[in-house]
């Protein structure tokens, strides 16, 4: 952990949503609840240096050692948004250095890891300036709330393991304002999970997530989607409690395909699948049926495919990737990750 009182550093992971959040209202509030798995190796490291300013807020943002003015503008807008809750940001100069452990355009949500790391840094700075420590639970709950204002998915990266975001009927600890850990124990089968990310294409996607969310406001299937997501999250959580992987896989894959159906029917540019994406999906279903391996796929809003499986299946899944799926990966590249324990101050 940094000892310099004017430097704060956090590492925060990305996450992969299994029940998808797609469509929002108000100030970054979800139209349906989501459920995700926090990753271990895909993470952002953010260092924040702060000094008092006599001339108002100033932000200098560096990514991978180079000034990134495009993201710097986003950070400034984010600081403007949250200064009603963290008024001190108006009186400081911030120098922010950020780096990712994973390459760009890999189907791993960098906004989730980067914005959650930023929110965690800001809360630590607030503790120093105000000379008052938050209780641990309150710290992370508040960090999740602040991260949400920068990126909806970032709210979930503040916690490790399985995380939900959005109000869920019959689950008291859930909220649209912040994410939370599951309020129940999962079956041992779901306690340790792997995520193999198959890199089908590194090209910039034609429809951004922000645009996709906005298109849901006029989508004719929007209300039916939100009802489907509500049913799916209840059924998925039930399957996780009893160890029913077949139901789990069916719902996870249905959610991924629904997301891409919404994209395709939202915009002429919404076809984000590539031929390799479809080949992998068909191969996974065939492999699961033939070998009875507990394995399923999901995708974010892009062509790259995540393989989700209990870690006890790791050797078999990796052999499957090497023997059959690597041919569909751009330059034979894929990322081996697994469920992680959440952010860490360093």
**CATH for 283:** 3.30.70.890
Domain boundary among 155, 184, 213: 184
Q: Based on the fold, state whether residues 196 and 322 are members of the same structural domain.
A: yes
Domain boundary among 150, 184, 218: 184
Q: Based on the fold, state whether residues 98 and 209 are members of the same structural domain.
A: no
pLDDT value of position 106: 60
pLDDT band at 246 (very low <50, low <70, confident <90, very high): very high
Kindly state whether residue 34 falls inside one of the protein's structural domains: yes
Q: Based on the fold, state whether residues 125 and 265 are members of the same structural domain.
A: no
CATH number at 13 reads: 3.30.230.10
Q: Based on the fold, state whether residues 179 and 237 are members of the same structural domain.
A: no
pLDDT at 1 over 60: no
Q: Based on the fold, state whether residues 59 and 89 are members of the same structural domain.
A: yes
pLDDT at 321 over 80: yes
Considering only residues 186 and 5, tell me which one the structure prediction assigns the higher pLDDT.
186
Q: Based on the fold, state whether residues 156 and 219 are members of the same structural domain.
A: no
How much of the chain, in percent, has pLDDT values that exceed 90?
Answer: 89
pLDDT value of position 107: 62
Domain boundary among 184, 205, 225: 184
Mean pLDDT of 221-235: 97
Q: Based on the fold, state whether residues 155 and 290 are members of the same structural domain.
A: no
pLDDT value of position 202: 86
Mean pLDDT of 22-32: 94
pLDDT band at 211 (very low <50, low <70, confident <90, very high): confident
Query: Can you give the residue range of the structural domain that contains 268?
Result: 188-338
Kindly state whether residue 205 falls inside one of the protein's structural domains: yes
Q: Based on the fold, state whether residues 118 and 133 are members of the same structural domain.
A: yes
pLDDT at 3 over 50: no
User: What is the rounded average pLDDT for all residues in the chain?
Assistant: 94
Q: Based on the fold, state whether residues 26 and 166 are members of the same structural domain.
A: yes
pLDDT at 12 over 80: yes
Q: Based on the fold, state whether residues 218 and 307 are members of the same structural domain.
A: yes
Q: For residue range 156-187, what is the model confidence (pLDDT) as tens digits? A: 999 999 999 999 999 999 999 999 999 899 99
* Count of positions (residues) in the chain: 346
Q: For residue range 121-158, what is the model confidence (pLDDT) as tens digits? A: 999 999 999 999 999 999 999 999 999 999 999 999 99
Q: Based on the fold, state whether residues 169 and 217 are members of the same structural domain.
A: no
Mean pLDDT of 265-274: 89
Number of domains the chain contains: 2
pLDDT value of position 39: 97
Q: Based on the fold, state whether residues 20 and 144 are members of the same structural domain.
A: yes
Q: Measured over all CA atoms, what is the biggest interatomic distance in the chain, rounded to whole angstroms?
A: 68
Q: Which residues of 5-22 are buried (b: 16+ CB within 10 A; e: fewer)?
A: eeebbbbbbbbbbbbbbb
Mean pLDDT of 288-312: 97
pLDDT band at 82 (very low <50, low <70, confident <90, very high): very high
pLDDT value of position 323: 98
Kindly state whether residue 1 falls inside one of the protein's structural domains: no
């Amino acid at each position: 952990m940094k000892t310099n009182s004017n430097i704060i550093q956090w590492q925060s992971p990305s996450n992969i949503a299994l029940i998808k959040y797609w469509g929002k209202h108000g100030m970054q509030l979800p139209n349906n609840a989501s459920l995700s798995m926090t990753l271990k190796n895909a993470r952002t490291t953010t260092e924040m240096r702060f000094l008092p300013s006599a001339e108002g807020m100033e932000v200098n943002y560096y990514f991978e050692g180079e000034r990134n003015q495009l993201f710097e503008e986003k950070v400034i807008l984010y600081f403007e948004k949250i200064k009603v809750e963290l008024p001190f940001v108006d009186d400081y100069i911030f120098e922010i250095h950020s780096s990712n452990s994973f390459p760009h355009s890999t189907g791993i949500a960098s906004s989730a890891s980067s914005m959650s790391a930023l929110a965690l840094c800001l809360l630590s700075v607030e503790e120093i300036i105000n000379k008052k420590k938050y209780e641990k639970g309150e710290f992370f709950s508040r960090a999740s709330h602040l991260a949400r204002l920068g990126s909806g998915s970032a709210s979930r990266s503040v916690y490790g393991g399985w995380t939900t975001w959005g109000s869920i009927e019959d689950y008291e600890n859930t909220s649209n304002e912040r994410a939370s850990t599951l309020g129940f124990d999962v079956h041992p089968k779901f306690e340790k999970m792997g995520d193999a990310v198959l890199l089908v294409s590194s090209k910039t996607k034609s429809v951004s997530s922000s645009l996709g969310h906005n298109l849901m406001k006029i989508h004719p299937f929007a209300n039916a989607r939100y009802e489907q997501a509500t049913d799916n999250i209840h059924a998925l959580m039930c399957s996780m409690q009893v160890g029913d992987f077949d139901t789990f896989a069916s719902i996870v894959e249905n959610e991924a395909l629904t997301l891409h159906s919404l994209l395709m029917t939202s915009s002429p540019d919404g076809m984000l699948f590539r031929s390799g994406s479809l080949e992998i999906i068909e191969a996974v279903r065939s492999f699961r049926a033939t070998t009875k391996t507990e394995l399923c796929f999901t995708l974010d809003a892009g062509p790259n495919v995540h393989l989700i499986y209990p870690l006890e299946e790791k050797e078999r899944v990796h052999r499957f990737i090497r023997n059959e799926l690597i041919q569909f990966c751009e330059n034979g590249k894929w990322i081996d990750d697994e469920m992680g324990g959440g952010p860490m101050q360093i």
